[in-house]
Structure 1
Amino acid sequence: MRLNDCHNFHDFRRLAQHRLPGPIFNYIDGGADDEVTMRRNSAAFETCDLVPSVLRGVSEVDLSTTVMGQKIDLPVYLSPTALQRLFHHQGERATAAAAEKFGTMFGVSSLGTVSMDELARKHRTPQVYQFYFHKDRGLNRAMMEQAKASGIQVMMLTVDSITGGNRERDLRTGFSIPFRLTLGGLYQFAIKPAWGIHYLAHEKFSLPQLDAHIDMKGDALTIGRYFTEMLDPSMNWDDVAQMVQAWGGEFCLKGVMSVEDARRAADIGCTGIVLSNHGGRQLDGSRSAFDQLDEIVQAVGDRIDVMIDGGIQRGSHVLKALSLGAKAVGLGRYYLYALAAAGQPGIERALGQLKAEIVRDMRLMGARRVAELGPQNLRFRH
């Protein structure tokens, strides 16, 4: 199988599985516990149908939108995800370059493998910095100051990960940073030598956002211990309100799922929220973001930008989310499989196909611009 054989999400997933050692593929592919929520994220979009309008004269389609003060050419953005240079040696460099080519926003994680400073210097498109709340308040301040110095406009605090989810696929393979592989996991690396050659031939793996503040090298601290020992489960609304005030700009909470929490986010001055269950990787049994979208948009959509992520596999999924009032839709696994499959050309092919699907579906729906989509386009099945 080659990149030219990839025509949809599932094709990219298969090619990624072919190219990655099993433990790394399963790190991307897996969810928490029984993976019920992970499966529900995509299935949720099947609970409603699109109702097209015809004879609307849709010769041109404008996909541009504005979210958290950032003008983007596509109503989708590349969500911040961790450890990208494990999946392909280009890592976030490929992600950022592909996002720039399509004129959309991309996120860089605290657990990113390329420096946000480097990416901000190279690319003109908006960059979101996603971070976690640490027990060390000085560390939180330092990381925000570093982001501000890099020229980043949008801060995104992840609030659904005060402790790590129970990802049993990783337990079976021994996946961690640094690697502590089981025999089965070692075998999976041995039968995919191309990945190892690329990994060793390029720059040493690092976590530049954290390396300046925390010793993440050697056996000092694995990613799992980072979540259990460094992050602060006592984080509360007062803590976040102080961070919003200190940042003084576009500030987004990622992982909000209830109307009450959405209202609190607006009350403390957040400019955006991402409805998210972390791709089903945290609390298994959690509701899907799409299932919560209408209720939350009705409650706070006039006060705060509402985005969603989780389970996006098709342009029609994007249209359904936009029709319920999402300002933009975040992609995670959608572009990570493409990154793993072929680096920057993989992400560009995946985004090109998704854009073509959205344009085609907008024409078939009779919508010339994103603002013309609304609840009138949808009917839910009961």
Structure 2
Amino acid sequence: MNPELLKYNPQYPSVQDLKKKAKQRIPKFAFDYLEGGCNDELNLWRNEADFRDIQLIPRYLKKHRGVDMRTELFGHVYDAPFGISPIGLQGLMWPNAPVILAKAARKHNIPYILSTVSTASIEEIAEVAGSQFWFQLYHPTENKLRDDILRRLDAVECPVLVVLVDVPSFGLRYREIKAGLSMPPKITINNFIQAALRPAWSVEFLKAGMPTFATLKPYMGKDLDIKQLGKFMNATFTGRVDSEKIKAIRDLWKGKLVIKGVVCDEDMEESIRLGADGVIVSNHGGRQIDAGESTIKPLKGLADSYGDKMTIMIDSGLRSGPDIGRSLACGAKFTFMGRPFMYGVSALGKQGGDHTIALLKAQLKQVMEQVCCEQVGDFPTALASS
């Protein structure tokens, strides 16, 4: 067992263990929101399954001088080649989850991306996460709101803005609809019963109070709360983020600009033309289009064609250190994960962020030793031919 992992909780040495514990600790409606995909959840399944087809070559006779996971990205050297993806409504799944994860990201020197629809504000997370703070923008329908969010990000010196482009409409997620978390959300007797069956979650929820959309609160009007999410989101954020909108942001934003949701050559070429600093190959965790490809499928082709012109990252489907290694072997510069970290926090509370980071580092280190990679940039040499 890795000694770093022993400092936390050795009963949960894998993300799967954390997932099982999370399911036991949080209400079903919260777990379904975290776990669910759109429509029949086929792309959710593909995201994970297709990683299993990527094989690496172990090398044992070559001299190996140790493992260095440090990765330079946009002028900052992170301690590992993975970060924490944005997830909306984090405080619904576990109270104060954004702060717990942002603190862990800062402690372990990895990026934390705050969602526009998370339950902590730009200002709070910027203070907690420091230079590890990134922000994901749901593009508003009104430019005035967009400009004010960018002003707030500039004021806290956010180094990286991630513009989400894969939500021209909201995915049909059947689990959320059945749980009453449809658009607009509903409070049901079943949700109350589910909460009562999870006393640890209920106690923390009562301590923290009802989560609010803290970043959006100044724009939502007085006395609006979580129950108005659907109506507010539909009126304020629904719409296609096209090249014209990206260009306007590029002209306004002086920091690093990343476009999230790129999965095809056409969008990659347009991202380069628009002056983006990076892209995240992503399908929103299988929550937007069920008929699409998994993210690992197009990654290698995109990296081979555009890796010398663009910083290419990936999220959606990664669940382990081996998956991080597979992504790096296929040409990703960096990786992001959302659900694994929420499993960790939901399972272990305040300890969850530290523990999840530690176990992913331990798994990745073991893989690097097996395939004889001393640095994360060596991973492409370990990719087995298909």
TM-score range (shorter-chain normalised) is: over 0.9
Is residue 351 of structure 1 aligned with residue 357 of structure 2?
yes
Corresponding residue number in structure 1 for 2:332? 326
1:217 Cα deviation (Å)? 4.6
CA pair 210-363 structure 1, distance change in 2 beyond 3 A:
same
CA pair 212-261 structure 1, distance change in 2 beyond 3 A:
same
1:349 Cα deviation (Å)? 1.2
Corresponding residue number in structure 2 for 1:361? 367
Residue identity in the other structure for 1:377: A
Corresponding residue number in structure 1 for 2:309? 303
Q: Secondary structure at the match of 1:197?
A: helix
Matched-pair contact (CA < 8 Å) for 2:186–2:227:
no
Structure 2: tracts of 5 or more residues without a match? 1-7
Using the TM superposition, name which of 188-197 and 86-95 deviates more: 188-197
Matched-pair contact (CA < 8 Å) for 1:216–1:222:
no
Corresponding residue number in structure 1 for 2:193? 187
Is residue 30 of structure 1 aligned with residue 36 of structure 2?
yes
Q: Secondary structure at the match of 2:219?
A: coil
1:223 Cα deviation (Å)? 2.7
Matched-pair contact (CA < 8 Å) for 2:295–2:317:
no
Residue identity in the other structure for 2:277: T
CA pair 351-220 structure 1, distance change in 2 beyond 3 A:
closer
Corresponding residue number in structure 2 for 1:68? 74
For residue 377 of structure 1, the aligned residue among 371, 378, 382 is 382
CA pair 351-219 structure 1, distance change in 2 beyond 3 A:
closer
Query: What is the 5 A alignment of 1:124-273?
Result: 124-175=130-181, 180-215=186-221, 217-218=223-224, 222-273=228-279
1:55 Cα deviation (Å)? 2.7
Deviating above 4 A after TM superposition, structure 1's stretches of 4 or more consecutive aligned residues are 176-179
Using the TM superposition, name which of 295-304 and 15-24 deviates more: 295-304
1:201 Cα deviation (Å)? 1.7
Corresponding residue number in structure 1 for 2:4? none
Matched-pair contact (CA < 8 Å) for 1:90–1:343:
no
Q: Please give the root-mean-square deviation of Cα atoms over the aligned residues, in Å.
A: 2.0
TM norm structure 1: 0.94
1:178 Cα deviation (Å)? 8.1
Matched-pair contact (CA < 8 Å) for 2:106–2:128:
no
Q: Secondary structure at the match of 1:373?
A: helix
Corresponding residue number in structure 2 for 1:341? 347
Corresponding residue number in structure 1 for 2:291? 285
Matched-pair contact (CA < 8 Å) for 1:37–1:288:
yes
CA pair 120-243 structure 1, distance change in 2 beyond 3 A:
same
C-alpha distance after superposition, 1:10-45 (max 9, x if no partner): 111111111111101100011100000001111111
1:163 Cα deviation (Å)? 1.6
TM norm structure 2: 0.93
Q: Secondary structure at the match of 1:61?
A: coil
Structure 1: tracts of 5 or more residues without a match? none
Q: Secondary structure at the match of 2:261?
A: strand
Matched-pair contact (CA < 8 Å) for 2:47–2:295:
yes
1:177 Cα deviation (Å)? 8.7
Matched-pair contact (CA < 8 Å) for 1:339–1:346:
yes
**Aligned-partner Cα distance in 2 for 1:234–1:26:** 27
Is residue 55 of structure 1 aligned with residue 99 of structure 2?
no
Using the TM superposition, name which of 68-77 and 202-211 deviates more: 202-211
**Aligned-partner Cα distance in 1 for 2:346–2:184:** 20
1:161 Cα deviation (Å)? 1.1
Matched-pair contact (CA < 8 Å) for 2:184–2:231:
no
Q: Secondary structure at the match of 1:357?
A: helix
Corresponding residue number in structure 2 for 1:116? 122
CA pair 4-377 structure 1, distance change in 2 beyond 3 A:
closer
Using the TM superposition, name which of 15-24 and 107-116 deviates more: 107-116
Matched-pair contact (CA < 8 Å) for 1:35–1:284:
yes
Using the TM superposition, name which of 228-237 and 96-105 deviates more: 228-237
Corresponding residue number in structure 2 for 1:294? 300
For residue 102 of structure 2, the aligned residue among 52, 73, 96 is 96
Corresponding residue number in structure 1 for 2:3? none
Matched-pair contact (CA < 8 Å) for 1:178–1:218:
no
Residue identity in the other structure for 1:320: R
Matched-pair contact (CA < 8 Å) for 1:250–1:271:
yes
C-alpha distance after superposition, 1:288-316 (max 9, x if no partner): 11101011112221111100001111211
